[in-house]
A and B are shown apart, each in its own frame.
Chain A
Amino acid sequence: MMGTREQTKGAVTRRALLGVGLLLAATSSGAARADGDTRAPAAKFVDDLGRKVVAVLRDPGLDRAARLRELTRLIDEATDLALVARLVLGRYWREASEAQRREYTALFRALVLKTMADRLDSYGGETYEITGVQRVDERDTVVSTRIQRPGGQPIAVDWRVRAEGGRLLLIDIVAEGVSMVVTQRSEVAEIAGRSGIDGLLQEMRRRLEGTA
């Protein structure tokens, strides 16, 4: 089923600029900016990332390896993977030793990238539009998008963006209401609860060596 979509990478378009423009207009006209409203910058951040990802997927000059390398770089730049790893480990983070935390964070990053590589061939042909921006608190903003896949139903995807140290970084992706952080937290808690943090690390290593 997925195979037919692999050839459609050229057909990527984008309708988000209008949305961002409207948001910028809406937020700069009010007094909202005085308290450091992050909605417009967050929408721009997600749109910039989306545009870069779309460009990499569309670039006919890239072979599969180069495409993967570029996407990895983009995700690394835009995501606070160390924080995501920590949030996913939840209460077990506090129990982990410094060495365990270091190894876990490295393994987490490697597994995220492995999963992305595994999904790479099913990407292509997507278009997206930004449908809303919601400020959660002084740190976090959620940018909602609708992603249209060729020949499929549109998917609602929320991007949670955190402002830290003067920059914005992605910390969760919520597809059709299913949060990556919540879901992975549940997986990790199962394994850590059953076989401890060392057991979790062992399972992650095993996964990584598996089919990569």
Chain B
Amino acid sequence: MRAKRTNFGVTLVRLAAGILAAWLLSMPAARAVEPNDPLEPVNRVIYGLNELVDVVLLGPVSEAYGELPSPVRTGVRNVLDNLRAPVTFVNDLLQGERERAGTTFARFFINSTLGLFGLFDVASELGHPQHEEDFGQTLAVWGLGEGPFLMLPLLGPSTLRDAAGLAVDQLAFDPFAYTASGDVGIARGVGEAVDTRHRLDAVVRDVRRNSLDPYATVRAAYLQRRGVEIRNGRSATGEPGYESIFRDDE
């Protein structure tokens, strides 16, 4: 839930600036197989609190949200995706992906007009498929390591790089930022949280039931997903860290 307003933003900037400085001085080496998680004890406490919020609030709300007709939920998702387009556009450009930037621009234009303020994803049907970029991914493309893993209150799994990226996206790149536009921003943050939680429902249940250590599962899944996003959809096949696992029997 990306809810709180200005104070949250200012705190985030200070936090990000502080850690960024400390961490640029100690650039991490190439991706190791073991997760980089020096703050694990703190992260686990925050994970526990997030789980609590999920069980008493977010989970039940997202279950109720799931009762809405599917076209309504698709509309909500489309509007949220459309509001993300400017951030994706800026980061496409910063990554030197001009073609993808063009796609993002076309999508935003088409869906904001023909798609009735983003309610319908007309652009996908016209051959402009959706993708997302954020400043965390841009920093990764620029060669910055992910830094230590972080479990953020309410926002969930992240890394130092991705949290700093999120702060920059929110405060510099996003014209519809959660932190800047009052009630609309809050509504958007709540919508994002509920819709995302709803789509992940089966995964959340599965992790709770079948994982030997849910915190480790969430961390591993997040870091792997981010890897795929940074590689623009390419899997980890052939990546040294991943491949080394399969030579472990030699």
Residue numbers of A with Cβ under 8 A of B are: 1-2, 83, 86-87, 90, 93, 111, 114-115, 118-119, 122, 134, 136, 140, 142, 144, 151, 158, 160, 162, 171-172, 174, 176-179, 181-191, 203-204, 207, 211
Contacts and interface: CB of A to CB of B under 8 A. Distances in A.
Interface of B: 33-35, 63, 66, 70, 198, 201-202, 205-206, 209-213, 215-217, 219-221, 224-225, 227-228, 235-238, 242-243, 245-246, 248-249
Contacts of A144: 235
Contact of A186 (B35, B198, B228, B237): B35
A84 to B, nearest CB: 10
Given A134-B237, A186-B216, A87 B249 contact: yes
Contacts, number: 102
Given A93-B248, A142-B237, A182-B220, 15 more contacts: A1-B201, A87-B248, A87-B249, A118-B209, A136-B237, A136-B246, A142-B235, A158-B237, A186-B220, A188-B212, A189-B216, A190-B213, A190-B215, A203-B212, A204-B212
A127 B245 CA distance: 30
A187 B249 contact: no
A87 B245 contact: yes
A50 to B, nearest CB: 19
Contacts of A172: 246
6 residue pairs, one from A and one from B, having the closest CB atoms: A177-B228, A186-B220, A183-B220, A190-B216, A187-B212, A187-B213
A186 B209 contact: no
Contacts of A187: 211-213, 216-217, 220
A51 to B, nearest CB: 24
A191 B213 contact: yes
A94 B78 CA distance: 50
B237 A185 contact: no
A172 B235 CA distance: 13
Nearest to A141: B237
Nearest to A211: B209
B210 A115 contact: yes
A195 to B, nearest CB: 11
Contacts of A191: 212-213
A92 to B, nearest CB: 11
